[in-house]
Amino acid sequence: MNAIQLSFQGNNLSFIILTISLCIIGVLYAFYSKYSKELVLSAFSQRYANQYLRDDNVFKRTVNILFNLLIIINLSFVIWSVSPGENYDIIQFLKIIIYTILYYLLKFVSLWFLGHLLKMNQIANIALFFTTLFDKVFALFAFPILVLFHFYVSDITDQTTLIICSFLIFFFVLKIFWILKIGIKSFGLSRFYLFLYICILEFFPLVLLYRGIVFS
């Protein structure tokens, strides 16, 4: 396959993926704008986070499902876009989606198991909310950057890659900050256990995800 065919195939797949993401965002905006806004603001204000966690209903469950889909699609697309090489085919993208799903499944099962083992189900549920909250917001913010990455009139891949990586680092640092703040101030958890949690359930799965994708 020559370079022109490869680029054409990559653009077709990019268009399909971004269209799916746009449809999800459109549904969130059209039917669940109140809860979607509350979820996004929860990443920056504890008041909104407390308000979002206060009551559970079918609308919030639907919002969580749609944002989870957005995470899987957009985060996988980010990795597919900035990964080294030019193997822009659907098989590679599906492989990245599988690794991404396994990454979040590992975190979910680990938190669920620890919550039941230590009889701290409430803390486990809150940890699960915050560990995915910032990824959801990142997936939303990454969408317009991905559009520019693939369909801008000139080549700005270096600039958009830098912006995406900056967003990723910002939200990851923000996630660690909120985990430490809430864990220590709200629940009085030991800094040592929080450090173990961050290393095992935040850094280690991320390393496995990177290793599985880059060195596969």
The DSSP code sequence of 160-185 is HHHHHHHHHHHHHHHHHHHHHHIIII
pLDDT of residue 7: 46
Percent of the chain's residues with pLDDT above 70: 81
- pLDDT, tens digit (0-9, with 9 covering 90-100), for 151-162: 877 777 778 878
Place of tokens 């969130």: 28
Predicted model pTM? 0.79
Which range, 59-68, 84-93, 98-107, 164-173, has the best average confidence (pLDDT)?
59-68
- pLDDT, tens digit (0-9, with 9 covering 90-100), for 159-205: 887 888 888 888 888 888 877 777 676 666 667 777 777 777 677 76
Which range, 40-44, 51-55, 128-132, has the best average confidence (pLDDT)?
40-44
Angle subtended at Cα 163 by Cα 157 and Cα 164, rounded to the nearest 5 degrees: 85
Range of the structural domain that residue 26 is part of: 3-214
Domain count for the chain: 1
